[in-house]
């Protein structure tokens, strides 16, 4: 096994730990890590096979929250509309453009996490905002595989309990990423070689997410969160530099 493949597996493993501990962040961390080793567009394509399977683990873990599914249906519907457009953008964007967008979203995630930016959505505004947020998240998911910053910010604004929050995110990620994968296959962007490499990296992600779930209640959450943000800041800055080079 080559050193590059081992390094890629380590990046996917660490991304799995972040997702297992927080319920989000896999695409951001894995995408940024793989993009430092490969072309950014190839990195985004690689995680397309892994994400639907890994997020299903979170879905199963918090399946008791299925009673809240009806509340996020408008968000889900908007996402299904946005993903095909984002997937088309990925097919036509250059590797440098994808690096810029992925780097920007990574730094946005760091910025919102560091400053703990929060807002509140009242029941009056929820029916209007949910489809719009869903479409925006779907476009970003389709284009760069990252919708966590948008969807997580919105769900936090609804002041959901932690388990409901993670379940809702998992539902969105599974549905959007599966739709995105179908679109990539249809547009001939997902080759057998890329799919095989994704499946080869999958065990590292599964091990990571299970480790993150185990660590969730055993590590100081604030210290862990800050360490992740520092790593992501370095990765996001590097991606933007690569996109501008």
Whether 220 is covered by a domain: the verdict is yes
What pLDDT is recorded for position 231? Answer: 67
Give, in degrees to the nearest 5, the angle at Cα 212 between 207 and 213. 100
Assessment of whether the complete model's pTM goes beyond 0.85: no
- Residue 218's pLDDT band, with cuts at 50, 70 and 90, is confident
- Domain assignment of residue 157, yes or no: yes
Residue 235: its pLDDT value, please? Answer: 73
In a domain, 52, yes or no: yes
CB neighbours of residue 6 within 10 Å:
11
Q: How many domains does the chain have?
A: 1
HSE (side-chain half, CA atoms, 13 Å) at 212: 29
| pLDDT at residue 1 greater than cutoff 60 | no
**What domain range is 118 assigned to?**
3-238
Query: Mean per-residue pLDDT for 149-163?
Result: 79
The region of weakest confidence among 45-49, 111-115, 200-204 is 111-115
Residue 182 lies in a domain: yes
Whether the predicted pLDDT of 162 surpasses 80: no
- Is 134 within the bounds of a domain? yes
pLDDT tens string 171-205: 998 999 999 899 889 988 888 999 999 999 999 99
What is the pLDDT, as a whole number, of residue 240?
Answer: 85
Residue 245 lies in a domain: no
pLDDT bucket at 225, cuts 50 / 70 / 90 = low
Scored b (16 or more CB within 10 A) or e, 197-223 reads: bbeebbebbbbbbebbbeeeeeeeeee
Report if residue 244 sits inside a domain: no
Computed over every residue of the chain, the mean pLDDT equals 84
Asked if residue 215 belongs to a domain, the reply is: yes
Query: Which pLDDT score, from 0 to 100, does residue 78 have?
Result: 94
- Mean pLDDT of the 139-152 span: 81
Give Cα separations from 195 to 8, 49, 190 (angstroms). 15, 7, 7
How high is the pLDDT of residue 103?
A: 79
What pLDDT does residue 117 have?
65
Q: Give residue 135's pLDDT band: very low, low, confident or very high (50, 70, 90).
A: very high
What is the pLDDT averaged over residues 95-120? 76
């Amino acid at each position: 096994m080559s050193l590059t493949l081992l390094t890629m597996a380590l990046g996917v493993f660490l991304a799995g730990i972040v997702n297992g501990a927080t319920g989000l962040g896999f695409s951001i961390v894995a995408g940024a890590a793989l993009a430092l080793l490969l072309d950014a567009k190839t990195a985004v394509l690689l995680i397309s096979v892994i994400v639907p399977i890994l997020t299903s683990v979170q879905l199963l873990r918090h399946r008791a929250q299925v009673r809240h599914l009806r509340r996020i249906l408008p968000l889900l519907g908007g996402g299904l509309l946005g993903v095909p457009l984002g997937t088309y953008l990925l097919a036509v964007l250059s590797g440098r453009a994808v690096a810029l967008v992925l780097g920007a979203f990574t730094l946005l995630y760091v910025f919102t996490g560091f400053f703990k930016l929060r807002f509140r959505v009242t029941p009056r505004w929820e029916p209007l905002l949910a489809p719009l947020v869903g479409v925006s998240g779907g476009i970003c998911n389709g284009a760069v595989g990252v919708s966590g910053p948008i969807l997580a910010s919105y769900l936090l604004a609804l002041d959901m309990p932690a388990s409901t929050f993670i379940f809702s995110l998992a539902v969105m990620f599974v549905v959007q990423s599966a739709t995105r994968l179908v679109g990539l296959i249809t547009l001939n962007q997902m080759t057998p070689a890329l799919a095989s490499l994704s499946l080869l990296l999958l065990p590292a992600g599964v091990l990571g997410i299970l480790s993150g779930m185990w660590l969730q209640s055993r590590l100081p959450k604030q210290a862990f969160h800050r360490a992740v943000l520092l790593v992501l800041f370095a990765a996001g800055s590097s991606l933007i530099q690569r996109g501008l080079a």
